[in-house]
Amino acid sequence: MPSLQCGIGAAIAWFIAKDLLGHERPFFAPIAATIALGVVMGPRLRRGFELIIGAVIGIGLGDLVISAIGSGPWQIAFVVIAGQLIAVFLDKGLIFSGQVATSSVLVATLLPPGSSLAYERMIDAFIGGVIALILLALVPVHPIKRARREAASLLGVSSSVLREVAEGLENHDAERIGDALQAARDTQAAIDSLTQQVKGGAEVVRISPFYRRRKDELAEIERILYPLDNGVRNIRVLARRAATAVEDSVVVHPKLVNLIDHLADGLEELLRFVARTPGAPDQVTLTRQLRMVAAGLQRELVSEGGITETVVLGQMRSILVDMLQVAGLSKISALATLPQTVSKPAVTPTPLEESSGESWSSAKEASAAALPSKVVEELPEEFLGEK
């Protein structure tokens, strides 16, 4: 769809400038439309305005200056420097400053001083930008689907990393954990992309009459951005500490390793929930599954260990708080799922039975059909047992 938008926008902009207005070679019109739309999703409304204003300022500045001082190397340098300073003063957007500079250079090198063609180029750039903005509203890219896919992809990688970390700790395989850590580090580009997808989606919802009803759904995606980012970052720290544990020949408690593996299962279910795939668990079932993992993260698992095991436990608790927020809980409710580790916790722990209004046994029975068997088959005491 973004590619289709670019093609349609370029064609319409050229047609209006060339055939309707009679401009000779109106290359700024399709260029402006293409850059403003672009195939890279994100805040394209802002990009369109930056392009229009930047091109108009650059073309006008170039024509004004070159008409007064002529054309040549130092004149071009002067125009570019002046354009950049004006752009930085008005707005620090990369497209804006770049468009001011390139437009002024094109005028300084391609058009004769004082040519009326400069004003046509300003109009052409304006036409291209306006066409882009109209297409964003009338032929919009779906504002939610891309963001959901990106978020689901991040959860998929996170689940895989946790599983590799658990296997690496169990088999004392530092290389395996190192590969998982690198995979976790490589997710930063996807996190940045997801942020841009959500910003672009917000623009579409705001200007398109076809997607205004998606406002609440978009707000849901916006809500999970921060905890998802935090969760992925905490997984990186966990993987790094796990690698240190293996390198230092530290044996992490088998029950804690088992909980890492169960959390990987939970993130697979969270992936399906966020992506809204057919058969995905509902929020209650998903939250209960993650709470079962949280319930096992007790201080006793590291009572005889050192700093490495303590860090692993701490990171697991942080990851659970983040992912429970992605699943829909508030931060306070997510913190309440964790067993008490200090005498006066800021948030009083809430047992699973109290939060769900069910006994543990009934919760286990209700979950059995939906949760992976290895998660529920030996709950609650044996849940922490070795695989």
Tell me the mean pLDDT per 10 residues along the chain, length 387.
84 92 85 74 64 76 76 80 78 68 74 64 84 76 74 92 94 93 89 76 67 71 87 94 92 92 94 88 91 90 86 94 92 90 82 48 39 39 44
The confidence score (pLDDT) of residue 48 equals 67
Residue 109: both structure tokens together: 């090198």
Q: What does the alpha-carbon distance between residue 195 and residue 206 come to, in Å, rounded to a whole number?
A: 17
Torsional sign, CA 35, 36, 39, 43: positive
Chain centre to alpha carbon of residue 57: 33
The confidence score (pLDDT) of residue 117 equals 66
Q: What does the alpha-carbon distance between residue 14 and residue 270 come to, in Å, rounded to a whole number?
A: 47
User: Number of C-alpha atoms within 13 angstroms, CB side, residue 375?
Assistant: 29
Torsion of CA 94, 99, 102, 103, to 10 degrees: -170
Sequence-separated (6 or more) residues with CB below 8 Å from residue 53: 96
| 209, containing H or E segment | none
Q: What does the alpha-carbon distance between residue 31 and residue 53 come to, in Å, rounded to a whole number?
A: 14
Is residue 197 a contact partner of residue 143, using CB atoms and an 8 Å limit? no
| Amino acid in position 360 | W
Q: What does the alpha-carbon distance between residue 365 and residue 376 come to, in Å, rounded to a whole number?
A: 9
The confidence score (pLDDT) of residue 69 equals 76
The confidence score (pLDDT) of residue 210 equals 64
Residue 361: both structure tokens together: 């046994």
How far apart, in Å, do the first and last CA atoms of the chain sit? 47
For the chain, state the CA radius of gyration. Answer: 28
Torsional sign, CA 222, 223, 229, 231: negative
| Amino acid in position 382 | E
Helix axes 117-138, 188-207, angle to 10 degrees: 90
3 state DSSP class of 266:
helix
